[in-house]
Structure 1
Amino acid sequence: MEKFIYKNRIGITTLSAKIEKFAYKKHAHEEYALGVTLNGIQKYSLEGSSLKSYRNDVMLFNPEELHDGQAGSKEESLDYVMLYIKPKLFLEAIGEKEIVKFSSSIVYNEKLKQDIINLSSTILYEKDEALCNELLLNIVDNFTSKDFTLDYKKETLLVKRAKEMIYYELDDVLNLDEISKQLNLSKFQFIRIFKANTGVTPYQFFLNCKLIHAKKYLELTKDIYATIVEYGFTDLSHFNRHFKRVYGVTAYKYLLSLF
């Protein structure tokens, strides 16, 4: 049985999940994500590398890192918790101003594991925000400067410009002809170059960005149909289909979990 429970507090979203056959479509988050595999095996690709997280392992994801995910064993379900922490909040907590990157993707650290579980439980049970802030500090205090690198993903100017152009089209359909024309490329050249630099096609990037912003808009307005209109989804079925592939639940169920 698949189970996804989301809760949000102090700018942190917690996910408690149990999956057997469900597989996440390749996507990225704008937040830092820290998680613990509680049972089973988490199998996923991250920026082109195949990884497995076993019980009690801590998973660390940087903002905009492409990944998918599924249970890595047919014999047992995968249970895990994740914390999605907004970059501004995370950087403030660790005392950095510029975006940093985790040096490792999977670590075994008993204290860090327990600190992540403690904050996840506190958010899931909607306890005091002051306690949440203190528990976040407990988490970041596990890291030292050697656990981060400033050598963040470098992109070509062409890809940066293309991303900016795609961002402007999130409430519409992706116009490959117009973007490639402005970049003095054929649309097929553009697709190849973009995928070689990012690991996804322009359409996959466009759809992932659309879902990230639609999720934020949904959290703000609590209005599914306004979100559908704002971000140009055809209808509720179309929105839910894409939303569930990335977040495991329909937009309506996600919205209910926020209350």
Structure 2
Amino acid sequence: MANSDTIQLWHDRHLLGGTDVLKARCQSYRYAPHAHDFFVVAAFSDGAQKHRIAHMHGVALPGSVMIIPPGEVHTGESAARDVSWSYSAFYPSAASLERLAEGLYGTARGSLDFGTSFLIEDREMAQRLVAAADVAASCPDLVGRQEAVLGAFEMLIRRYGRRAHFSHISSPPKAPIQRSLDYIREQLAERLSIEEIAGQSGLSEFHFMRLFKQQTGMTVHQYVNNLRLEAAKAMLVAGMPAACVAANVGFYDQSHFIGHFRKAFGLTPNRYASACR
């Protein structure tokens, strides 16, 4: 990663039931296609970031708030060469946001949903989220951190949350590909091959790879590495030494793991682990 990029990423188990928090200023750094099993709530404060979320392309400017539901594939990079962009982000689970919504709305039917637009122009909301991330980064007092973050998310849910019976924007993978996805998750720590993954779907390797990308938005390799890296983060948060994590999630060796982790998150596994609270 170039010196023009500054990325802070850490996990705070006391916020929103446990969430990663990010503060970043990026210029050359770019996010390859990836997805999470949790929400991404990001607020932009400077520059311009171009992105793809699901099949939608856009540019996030200062004062923008981005809300990406779990499972949606997305990318991100500078909107113009040699121009930086700054943002802050939280990565709460759907369950944690549901608990907040129940406190605000009661137990109305339907799950929490933020509509079909991934990008919202709301300078006040963006500033509130950025300020909450600043407090989460610098405040040693737990009550102070929780108050700032919960206040920002209460504002977000009141303004943009709604109850919906169907919240998926993208269609889930069809049964043959889903069988392969389940197999990948079950065998994540093993040495996987295209042949055996495709075999779970009953498709030829070439046909499988083509359908896999169409239905997931990622190549097989991107998908496997994405799952391994998210599993690695969870192990680091739980206190497992970084030197032991690589083998537990299926990377060939420690240097292979560190390289992929740095490319995906902009920092080393040890730096991430040491910043967690």
In the alignment, structure 1 residue 220 sits paired with structure 2 residue 234: no
Asked if structure 2 preserves the Cα contact closer than 8 Å seen for 1:8 and 1:123, the reply is no
Deviation string, structure 1 residues 128-166 (Cα, Å, up to 9, x no partner): 2441434432332222428x6724133212222221111
- In structure 1, what is the Cα distance between the partners aligned to 2:161 and 2:202? 45
One-letter amino acid of the counterpart of residue 63, structure 2:
N
Asked if structure 2 preserves the Cα contact closer than 8 Å seen for 1:119 and 1:136, the reply is no
Asked if structure 2 preserves the Cα contact closer than 8 Å seen for 1:91 and 1:97, the reply is no
Q: Which residue of 2 aligns with 1:128?
A: 142
Q: CA deviation at 1:75?
A: 5.1
Q: Which residue of 1 aligns with 2:264?
A: 246
In the alignment, structure 1 residue 186 sits paired with structure 2 residue 204: yes
Q: CA deviation at 1:99?
A: 6.5
Q: CA deviation at 1:101?
A: 5.5
Q: Which residue of 2 aligns with 1:57?
A: 64
**Equivalent residues in 2 for 1:98-113, closer than 5 Å:** 98=111, 100=113, 102-113=115-126
- 1:207 corresponds to which of 210, 219, 225: 225
Q: Which residue of 1 aligns with 2:40?
A: 33
Q: How many residues align?
A: 258
Asked if structure 1 preserves the Cα contact closer than 8 Å seen for 2:45 and 2:87, the reply is yes
- In structure 2, what is the Cα distance between the partners aligned to 1:99 and 1:235? 40
Structure 1 residue matching 2:159: 3-state secondary structure: coil
Pair 1:75–1:247, CA change in 2 (3 A): closer
Q: Which residue of 1 aligns with 2:78?
A: 71
Q: Which residue of 2 aligns with 1:138?
A: 155
One-letter amino acid of the counterpart of residue 137, structure 1:
E
Pair 1:135–1:101, CA change in 2 (3 A): closer
One-letter amino acid of the counterpart of residue 84, structure 2:
S
Pair 1:102–1:222, CA change in 2 (3 A): farther
Q: Which residue of 1 aligns with 2:106?
A: none
Q: Which residue of 1 aligns with 2:190?
A: 172
Q: CA deviation at 1:18?
A: 0.7
Q: Which residue of 1 aligns with 2:23?
A: 16
> Could you state the TM-score of these two structures normalised by the residue count of structure 2?
0.85
Structure 2 residue matching 1:5: 3-state secondary structure: strand
- In structure 2, what is the Cα distance between the partners aligned to 1:117 and 1:183? 44
In the alignment, structure 1 residue 7 sits paired with structure 2 residue 10: yes
One-letter amino acid of the counterpart of residue 255, structure 1:
A
Pair 1:183–1:144, CA change in 2 (3 A): closer
Q: Which residue of 2 aligns with 1:237?
A: 255
